[in-house]
Copies of this chain bind each other. A is one copy, B any other.
Amino acid sequence: MTGYMTDTNLGNIEEVLIVANYQKPEAKPLSHSIQIFLEEKGVKSEVFGFSGKADLVCERNYDLAITLGGDGTVLFASRILAPLNIPILPINLGNFGFITEVSKDDWQNDLERVLKGEVNLGSRMMLSFNLKNDASKRGGEELCGRAMNDVVISGSGISKLVNLMVHLDESEHIEYKADGIIFSTSTGSTAYSAAAGGPILHPEMNAIILNPICPFTLSHRPLVLPSESELRVEIAEDQRTELTLTVDGQLSYPLKSGDELFIRKASSAARILYSGSRSFYEVLRAKLSWTGGPE
């Protein structure tokens, strides 16, 4: 999208990874067409196709990844490829999404331009998290990971109400009684956080949204914190519910009373290619019905 390019030095593209969501019927034939197209240009390519849950282990350092799917496929790919600094060209199979603007009908044009280094490259901040729990305190491995959209702590079962204490830079803290808390990036601000009443952040904003879900205290509002904030969440003892940690709505892990979750800006941002055909406001208008209104 126009307005938030941050770097454009894409480098020479010699090897491409295609990440294809095989649950979409067009994904397989399209990945084949793209491979042929790339081969003709003398560019090597590999396809990673998946259905449902997938474990993409990226061994080679590709110069570019192309995702075939929706926003969810980009979320999945970004968590793995961003740390390797691999730029992503998202091609959308279906309606265009908040992130995926290149349509499956225009991909040739856009890919051609990418190979020439002409397309815009935006940088989207990601979150990193790590969990200190009983196991990790006894020397076990610490759970850690990245999120493109959001990291969510929520309760389930009969009482969903959870008690959480969020520490900010170890100098302040705030208590929440809520169904859960969403920690969201700007990219994630149009996803679950929006449904929970959160503000929309421009993709260029480097910030962390702290958005309680159905907070018990009616005066609570979503908080927007600097991207440098170091957050620590204490899962209070004696919860009457089971807690879950959810990443980008795609991965989930159980949490326990006494666990501590650390959340901060990830060291590397996702590098997303876009054609510039749709602006930020246009996406909001189209996806969130921001035109018109009752009349």
Binding site for B on A (CB under 8 A): 2-3, 95, 97-98, 154, 156-160, 168-169, 171-175, 177-179, 189-192, 194-202, 204-205, 207, 209, 213-226, 229, 244, 246, 249-252, 279-282, 284-285, 287-295
Judge whether A225 and B202 touch: CB under 8 Å. yes
Judge whether B98 and A216 touch: CB under 8 Å. no
From B171, B219, B224, give the contact of A207 (CB < 8 A). Answer: B224
Kindly list chain B residues whose C-beta atoms are within 8 Å of the C-beta of A174.
281, 284-285, 290
CA–CA, A293 to B195, complex, Å?
10
Q: List 6 A-B contacts (CB under 8 A).
A: A158-B244, A158-B249, A172-B280, A179-B213, A199-B199, A202-B223
Closest 5 CB pairs of A and B: A217-B293, A156-B156, A218-B219, A158-B252, A172-B279
From B204, B213, B225, B282, give the contact of A172 (CB < 8 A). Answer: B282
Kindly list chain B residues whose C-beta atoms are within 8 Å of the C-beta of A288.
218-219, 221, 294
Judge whether B202 and A215 touch: CB under 8 Å. no
Kindly list chain B residues whose C-beta atoms are within 8 Å of the C-beta of A202.
223-226, 229
